[in-house]
């Protein structure tokens, strides 16, 4: 198969509409790409006091997966107008210890129970991913915000709203092109 993307579940909830969204994407786009889901629930709370020694195994494992991938899809919920603490902590580990996001194409998606989707959390995540030490290439202008997520999936984990599914298809196709163009334009080595 062609491209492989890492889908990061941006929270540690047992039931997560963001995990469900990534699972849908992995199945729905399986004929185009491979989307490998990664969980961050096991990441310890970041502390720079821990940076002198080896990185935790979960950090090393996710670093390797990201570095070997063609891009990353991060699905984030929104808590208090921002990303969850577990996602912020995971990015802090990655950006301080191993730097796998450097020049890596990233698509941000999010699912929420509210009517605004995850607009503020996605804006927050975009700022974090563009910060020094992270340096991700975030897909511009194609935010996928799944609002009222509890009403958007059927029992087989399919998006039941055709307009929503079509918009996700459009955003994902833009990301595929963005990832291809990014790889093509990066210097070799």
Strands 105-111 and 137-138: parallel
pLDDT in tens, 111-168: 999 888 899 999 999 999 999 989 999 999 888 999 999 999 999 999 999 999 999 9
pLDDT for residue 16: 95
Q: Is it the case that residue 188 has pLDDT exceeding 70? A: no
Q: How many domains does the chain have?
A: 1
- With respect to residue 45, please indicate whether it lies within any of the assigned structural domains: yes
Q: Which of 46-50, 103-107, 143-147, 164-168 has the lowest mean pLDDT?
A: 46-50
Chain mean pLDDT for the chain: 94
The stretch 67-96 carries a mean pLDDT of 96
* Residue 80 vs residues 84, 85, 124: alpha-carbon distances, Å: 9, 11, 11
pLDDT for residue 53: 84
- With respect to residue 189, please indicate whether it lies within any of the assigned structural domains: no
Domain ranges, residue 165: 4-184
CATH of the domain at 86: 3.40.50.360
- With respect to residue 29, please indicate whether it lies within any of the assigned structural domains: yes
Q: Is it the case that residue 31 has pLDDT exceeding 90? A: yes
């Amino acid at each position: 198969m062609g491209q492989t993307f890492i889908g990061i579940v941006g929270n540690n909830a047992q039931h997560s509409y963001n995990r469900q969204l990534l699972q849908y994407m992995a199945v729905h786009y399986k004929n185009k790409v491979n989307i490998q889901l990664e969980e961050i629930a096991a990441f310890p709370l970041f502390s720079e006091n821990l940076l002198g020694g080896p990185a935790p195994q979960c950090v090393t494992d996710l670093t390797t997966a990201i570095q070997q991938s063609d891009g990353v899809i991060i699905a984030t919920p929104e808590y208090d107008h921002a990303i969850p603490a577990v996602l912020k902590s995971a990015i802090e580990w990655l950006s301080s210890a191993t730097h796998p996001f450097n020049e890596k194409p990233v698509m941000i998606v999010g699912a929420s129970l509210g009517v605004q989707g995850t607009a503020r959390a996605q804006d927050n995540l975009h700022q974090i991913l563009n910060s020094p030490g992270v340096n991700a290439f975030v897909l511009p202008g194609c935010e996928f915000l799944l609002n009222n997520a509890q009403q958007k999936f059927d029992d087989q984990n399919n998006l039941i709203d055709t307009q929503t599914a079509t918009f996700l298809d459009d955003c994902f196709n833009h990301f595929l092109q963005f990832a291809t163009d990014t790889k093509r334009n990066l210097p070799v080595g």
